Each structure stands twice: as C-alpha cells, then as structure tokens.
Amino acid sequence: MKKKIPYNYICIEGNIGAGKTTLTTKLANDLGSKLILEQFAENPFLEYFYKEPERYALAVELFFLAERQKQLQATIMNKDLFAEFTLADYSLIKSMLFAKHNLAPDEFALFQRIFTSLSQQIPKPDLMLYLHRPLEKIKKHITQRARPYEMNISDQYLETVQNSYFDFFKAQTIIPVLVLDAEHFDFIDNPIHYDEIKNILTNKYNPGLHHIRIMF
C-alpha cells in the first residue's frame, strides 16, 4: 500500500542552484500536491543587486518579502480539494536569512519589523527538506543554467548563504528540518535516488534538526 505523506505543507530549501525547483516540481507532479514555485525572475532589482549589492540590497529583499508573503497567503490559505498537501520551493524564513546577510544593521532592523508584520498570517512549514550540496557542484549548476545575473556570484557569498541556513537550523526547535546530504544524489536520472527522497517524506519527524545521509 502506498505510504501517505503525513504533512500539510512541505518546503524544499537549499543554496542557490541546489536543485530546489527541479525536485519540488517533480515531486508535486508525481504526488499530486499543490505546487508553489518562487517567482524570483519577477524581481526588478535582482540584476542590479548582483552588480551593486549595497545600493540595491534593501529594495531586492523587500520586494522578495512582499511577493513571497502574497504568494504564500494566496496559495496556502485557499484549500485545494484535489490536493492533500502543499509543496513549495521556498519558505518565508528565506527572506529573513538573506536579509540578515545582505542588509546593513539599520536596514535589517527595519526589515525585521516589516517581516514580523507580514509573516503573522503565514503558517510555518510542517517539514523542511534542505538539499545540501558542495559549493563546487552548486557553482557548476549555476554555470549550466546560465542566468546572466548569477554568473558572478562569489564562492564567499554562496558559503555565507549556506552558513545562514545552518545557523537557523541549529537554533530553531519548532519545525522538523531534514538536511539531506545530496552530494551524490541524482534525483533527475536515477529513480532509486528519487524514490528514496519520496520515502523520506513519508516518515514522521520530531521538531528540530535531522541529518539524512543515505548510502547506495
């Protein structure tokens, strides 16, 4: 008998270029869940931010926050009679993690106040799966997908993003967080690997951090 997913709202997280959207879309199609994909390309400040981060950091982060909050509220709060659960390739906390790194202290203080207000009506994920990949694989994927505004992202920036996630995971005790060592995972072309991820999502986890390392 097919095992049921015991969660209403799952987020797939990871560094830039980790494969979040690819995995989330594939899972949603196979499992019949409601799908939420971040519309990052619609941020008019993103290209300028990568060229002049200090000048455009506040604008890019506030735009992301507003769009993420609007999309999550519109999608999660409206029940879908044909989907048992929701899969998203981002969580709202992503805005706070990126803003903490990208903004000056006074800007971040302002951002925190706005975030607190906008996040009150957005439910927290019931489960978060983080795809952890080495930076060299992240960089390779970024190069392969060839988005012009991403081509000059530094290793230091990617490492800082990764560390921001890990610091949050270690501190929070409300959401079950699964950190999947995906260095050798090929969920696109290897059905065994992909089925293992689906199996992982059928298990019930306690709140807090869980490291998932699967040997094939």
* Structure confidence at residue 166 (pLDDT): 95
The pLDDT confidence band at residue 145, using thresholds 50, 70 and 90, is confident
pLDDT at 208 over 90: yes
pLDDT at 81 over 80: no
Question: Could you tell me where the DSSP H helices lie in 103-208?
Answer: 105-119, 135-145, 155-171, 191-201
Amino acid at 154: S
pLDDT digits (tens, 9 = 90+) for 153-189: 899 999 999 999 999 999 999 999 999 998 888 888 8
Domain assignment of residue 187, yes or no: yes
Q: In the chain, pLDDT over 70 holds for what percent of residues? A: 95
Domain assignment of residue 15, yes or no: yes
Beta carbons of 6 and 124 less than 8 angstroms apart? no
Domain assignment of residue 204, yes or no: no
Bigger pLDDT: 56 vs 51: 56
Range 88-115 average pLDDT: 95
pLDDT at 58 over 80: yes
Print the domain residue range for 164: 11-197
The pLDDT confidence band at residue 61, using thresholds 50, 70 and 90, is very high
Domain assignment of residue 22, yes or no: yes
State how many domains the chain has: 1
According to DSSP, residue 189 is labeled T
Torsion sign, CA atoms 137, 18, 32, 176: positive
Domain assignment of residue 215, yes or no: no
Work out whether strand 34-36 and strand 127-132 pair parallel, antiparallel, or are unpaired: unpaired
* Structure confidence at residue 215 (pLDDT): 63
Domain assignment of residue 6, yes or no: no
Domain assignment of residue 2, yes or no: no
The pLDDT confidence band at residue 50, using thresholds 50, 70 and 90, is confident
Please state, in angstroms and rounded to a whole number, the distance separating the CA atoms of residues 199 and 60: 37
pLDDT digits (tens, 9 = 90+) for 20-32: 999 999 999 999 8
Beta carbons of 126 and 8 less than 8 angstroms apart? yes
Domain assignment of residue 3, yes or no: no
* Structure confidence at residue 182 (pLDDT): 85
Torsion sign, CA atoms 141, 176, 117, 72: positive
Range 68-82 average pLDDT: 81
Range 81-107 average pLDDT: 91
CATH label of the domain that carries residue 76: 3.40.50.300
Average pLDDT of the chain, as a whole number: 91
